[in-house]
Amino acid sequence: MSSSTRTLRINTPRVFAPLLQPGRYKGAYGGRGSGKSHFFAERVVDRALDEYGLRVVCIREVQKSLKESAKRLIDDKIEGLGVGAYFRSLTDHIVTPGGGIVLFQGMQDHTSESIKSLEGFDIAWIEEGQTLSERSLEILRPTIRKPESEIWASWNPRNATDPLDALLRGAEVPRGAIVVRANWRDNPFFPQTLRDELAHDKKHKPDRYAHIWEGEYEPTAIGAIWSRQNIHQNRRAEAPDLERILVAIDPAVSNNANSDEHGIIVVAQGADKRGYVIDDQTIKGSPRQWASRAISTLDRYEADAIVIEVNQGGDMVRHTLESVRPGVRIIEVRATRGKHVRAEPISALYEQDRISHVGSFPELEQQMCQITSGGYCGDGSPDRVDAMVWGFTELFPKLTALDEPEERYREYSLGENSWMG
């Protein structure tokens, strides 16, 4: 907006100030009432007034109707800021000064071809980013390619494994990313109505309060047999001397885009007779790929053997590993009980403070905290947990012995050409 006509003043909470700077990725995560969506909606209006012809797309994973989009919020901001004369709000989009446009779309409606229509856009704002799928993120990022284009995201974290959360809060955040955490206390405009709602949830929903209002990850499932508190309090920065190391695998039954992961977890028993999780090498891919990953992990840690679950794949799992390295030592474990039943003895070891994680394994820990006495409450299959359980079952056989121990596993002896021969 030209300074000769009028000056637009927007009161921006201090927490969002870093997001006013240029950046390829701009993210704001946190709980309800933080003002994340209001900030980005105001920025759309502000930028459109400042940059004639600006093109913005507001993205959600699923958008069945415009009622689920940010259109109403942006319309309200335009009216509230008194700049309606510069915009034209139509049924499914908003025309901005200089012939620009604000669109509202669901990523599930896009293919790798149809999304090319967004290549010339300046900004993509991902709303409710915690629901965005890996596929959607993969096709969106290279599509927004215009020089100095930006990808914005607002979300209330669910799991560390959610694709957007992993991208913008993970171990390797993209270069040029600016990410802030914003919660209700950062919002100077937080209304009394929401204060009352917050107080109610804090009193009556203490298990959900931190997620809803403080932007913490989804809580442990009700009745979960593992707790985050126990995992955290026993976490170690380094492992002690280790007496036995195993690479445990729970292979998926198929290999396609929708297949589960192949769980590959490294567990060990220390000289102190405690158990340790020391690595997570879980992978998606072909049988040859997971077998190669397992063998390389075995070599890296100089592990004693590979433990595999064979109910789904039978001899195929062993043959796949031996095709990569003939004679590798394999311990085959065969399930005779359900997943959660097999996991309970291992969770008991955690409760007794006999198992520690060396470092942090967010994907594994998320799966652990979604397993209850009634089964798994998460999405897909808990392949990481299954692999870990098989490994510790082998390390602590007396505690975890099944009713039919003779069927528990078969061990393939070493040959002359084996890696330990």
pLDDT tens sequence across 92-106: 999 999 999 999 999
Sheet with 150-155: strands ordered across: 88-89, 93-96, 100-106, 55-60, 123-126, 150-155, 25-29, 177-181
Residue 224 has a CB neighbour count (10 Å cut-off) of 17
Residues of the chain with CATH 3.30.420.240: 228-412
Which one is the CATH code of 228-412: 1.10.3720.10, 3.30.360.10, 3.40.720.10, 3.30.420.240?
3.30.420.240
Q: Which pLDDT belongs to residue 388?
A: 96
Helix (H) or strand (E) segment spanning residue 290 = helix 287-301
Neighbours of 259 (CB within 10 A): 15
Of 45-59, 286-300, 324-338, 395-409, give the lowest mean pLDDT range. 395-409
Give pLDDT tens digits for 255-302: 665 667 899 999 999 999 999 999 999 998 899 999 999 999 999 999
* Percent of the chain whose predicted confidence (pLDDT) is above 70: 88
Distance separating alpha carbons of residues 267 and 272, to the nearest angstrom: 14
Q: Which of 278, 277, 327, 337 is nearest to 306 (CA)?
A: 327
Q: Where in the chain is the domain with CATH 3.40.50.300?
A: 14-186
In the numeric block, the tokens 């900030």 are attached to: 39
Is the pLDDT at 377 greater than 60? The verdict is: yes
Look up the pTM and report it.
Answer: 0.58
Give the tokens for residue 76: 């309200």
Query: How many C-beta atoms surround the C-beta of residue 162 within 10 A?
Result: 22
**DSSP single-letter state for residue 393:** H
Q: Is the pLDDT at 171 greater than 90, yes or no? A: no
Q: What is the pLDDT of residue 341?
A: 81
CATH fold of the domain at 14-186: Rossmann fold (3.40.50)
